[in-house]
Amino acid sequence: MKFEMSEPSNEVPDVPMNNNSFFAIVGQLEQLEALLREGQLEAAKSLMESMSVEQLSMSTHVFGDPPLILAVSMHQHEIVDYLIQRGVNPHQLGPLHCNLLMVAVRAGSLETVEKALKLGVDPNETDSVSGLCVCVCLCVWRLVMRY
């Protein structure tokens, strides 16, 4: 199953104000991002256990990355494994149309590149910023690493 990004909308969602509201979830995602940045993996896991797979697939804001993409870019392999085991879609695209494989290549994470390929993440997907696919990103990365 491939997830597509929807067009941005100026509509304000009708969100009930309770613990499961959009704003509460965004607060949890922002807290999770901070914990990942600080390397507090146990606290991050504890927070993620209280969240649904759908919540763990959301972004904190329009240009924010979902937790799986954040974990890859921060080299948090344990969190990447945890999220995939929890059922987060490894084919999910971030707001800039980057998939798990693209971010892993850019982060230089061979372990996650191999995992993404085994999971069938599309290496021909292009991002919305550069229009480059993973294969081109990998070639550029290899050139940069030589010099």
pLDDT at 81: 93
What is the average per-residue pLDDT within 49-55?
89
- What is the C-alpha to C-alpha distance for residues 110 and 104, in angstroms, rounded to an integer? 7
Lowest-confidence region among 20-24, 36-40, 78-82: 20-24
What is the average per-residue pLDDT within 127-145?
65
Question: Comparing 143 with 133, which gets the higher pLDDT?
Answer: 133
List Cβ neighbours of 7 (8 Å cut-off, separation of 6 or more). Answer: none
Confidence of residue 95 (pLDDT cuts 50, 70, 90): confident
Question: Comparing 28 with 23, which gets the higher pLDDT?
Answer: 28
pTM over 0.75: no
Asked whether residue 14 carries a pLDDT value surpassing 50, the answer given is no
- What is the C-alpha to C-alpha distance for residues 38 and 54, in angstroms, rounded to an integer? 24
List Cβ neighbours of 33 (8 Å cut-off, separation of 6 or more). Answer: 60, 64, 67, 70
List Cβ neighbours of 51 (8 Å cut-off, separation of 6 or more). Answer: 25, 28, 32
